[in-house]
Amino acid sequence: MIFDYETIRLIWWALLGALLIGFAITGGFDLGVAILLPFLGKNDIERRVIINSVGATWEGNQVWFVTAGGALFAAFPMAYSVAFSGFYFALLLTLFALFLRPIGFDYRSKLPSQKWRSNWDIALFVGGFIPALIFGVAFGNLLKGVPFYFDNDMRIFYTGSFWALLNPFALTAGLLSLSMIIMHGAVFLQLKTVGAINQRCKKTVAIFASITLVIFALAGIWVANTDGYHISSSILHNAPSNPLVKTVDKGTGLWLANYANCPMLWAIPGLAFITGLITLLLSKFERPGWAYISSALTLAAVILTAGVSMFPFLIPSSSAMNNSLTIWDASSSLSTLSIMFWVTLIFLPLVITYTSWVFQILRGKITQEHIRLNDHSAY
């Protein structure tokens, strides 16, 4: 093995974060476009322009989400089990919402009826809104702690409820996720459209970039004054995974301990504020290509801020703190992580290269004339 157990665990924590960021950047803009569809499209032609802006790429963007779920399952199986036990109904709701997307894109223009198309527009809105909100709510609950514990046979017991997930802090995190995804979708639409839609997008970016920065600041203050988790016992970085052999403390402000120990990490939330402001300015001054890059950096910085705050925790337990899952005690074996690493090293660059090539080929703008000339379009 080239890497020891400690190093490969760190690598997979970073890769899991990279996959989540990849989905937020690529899948995030098409979720944002779907949310904006009923509001920025004032007639059927304009809505078809909006849909066509993501029609050729949205399916490929979902690969990042599926791959992140698969990576969590294979690299950190206990975390996967707890997440799908505790967030079962929330994830099921997300799945049903995502079901609306393929059938919405495929069936919307099958009939000329305005009511038919309006109903599918609503379905596409729901398919974007619910996942964008629930992803943020899930992160908020991770920071609050998830009510679960293991028995001596390592069986998982979840002691919470679906409604308990909708606590004030988690809903704030959900609104942060929703606002930054709408901002990202509006930037992408500004990049891909012209005329009236383009101008509406510029106003939307200004509104939701501002909302994102305000909620991010409020969430940061909230986290600084809420209980975080800290491992107080010795950590065996190379030991076999066993989440029951450590001691965890809980206290106000502990989620900021990593930033106190390494002040350079403050550059990550700082980057989120800087790139958020830059996104707003670039959009205002008609530089949507650069605005898209800065918007993507904003999303990445927000997600990294949460990940760095929680490190090394994956899923803290509010029911039995010592049962919290970390990257040191919830991972697969060294052999499994190593094999997965080499597979990822081969295929992830291929996915990135192909995705970049697709966006390069489809970099042109979608216009109303394009829709009229190709009126047989499925969208």
Query: Which tens digits make up the pLDDT trace of 1-26?
Result: 688 999 999 999 999 999 999 999 99
Amino acid at 157: F
Taking Cα atoms as reference points, which of 140, 108, 113 lies closest to residue 127?
Answer: 108
Ramachandran area for residue 210 (φ above 0: left; ψ -120 to 50: alpha; else beta)? alpha
pLDDT tens string 311-361 = 999 999 999 999 999 999 999 999 999 999 999 999 888 888 888 887 787
State the greatest distance between any 2 C-alpha atoms of the chain, in Å, as a whole number. Answer: 68
Q: What is the mean pLDDT of the chain?
A: 91
375 has a pLDDT exceeding 70: no
Instruction: Spell out the CATH class of 5-373.
Output: mainly alpha
Taking Cα atoms as reference points, which of 90, 148, 174 lies closest to residue 315?
Answer: 148
- The residue whose two tokens read 């929680």 is 310
- The residue whose two tokens read 């409604």 is 163
Taking Cα atoms as reference points, which of 84, 101, 136, 116 lies closest to residue 31?
Answer: 101
Q: What percent of the chain has pLDDT over 90?
A: 69
pLDDT tens string 282-296 = 999 999 999 999 999
Cα 73–Cα 74–Cα 80 angle in degrees, nearest 5: 25
Among the ranges given (130-139, 177-186, 236-245, 266-275), the one the predictor scored with the smallest mean pLDDT: 236-245
128 has a pLDDT exceeding 70: yes
38-66 mean pLDDT: 87
Q: What pLDDT is attached to residue 118? A: 93
Taking Cα atoms as reference points, which of 102, 157, 142 lies closest to residue 124?
Answer: 102
Q: How confident is the model at residue 367 (pLDDT cuts 50, 70, 90)?
A: low
pLDDT tens string 151-176 = 888 889 999 888 889 999 999 999 99
Q: What pLDDT is attached to residue 188? A: 95
As a whole number of angstroms, the distance between CA 308 and CA 300 comes to: 12
Q: What pLDDT is attached to residue 123? A: 95
211-233 mean pLDDT: 95
Determine contact, residues 189/197, Cβ cutoff 8 Å. Answer: yes
- Which sequence spans correspond to the domains of the chain? 5-373
Q: What are the structure tokens assigned to 232, written together?
A: 């107080």
Q: How confident is the model at residue 372 (pLDDT cuts 50, 70, 90)?
A: low
pLDDT tens string 296-311 = 999 999 999 999 999 9
Q: What pLDDT is attached to residue 1? A: 61
As a whole number of angstroms, the distance between CA 50 and CA 364 comes to: 13
130-147 mean pLDDT: 94
93-121 mean pLDDT: 90
Q: What pLDDT is attached to residue 374? A: 55
Whether the ω angle into residue 312 lies within 30 degrees of 0, i.e. cis, is yes
In this prediction the pTM is: 0.93
**Three-class SS of residue 158?**
strand
Q: How many CB atoms lie within 10 A of CB 357?
A: 10
Q: What pLDDT is attached to residue 33? A: 96
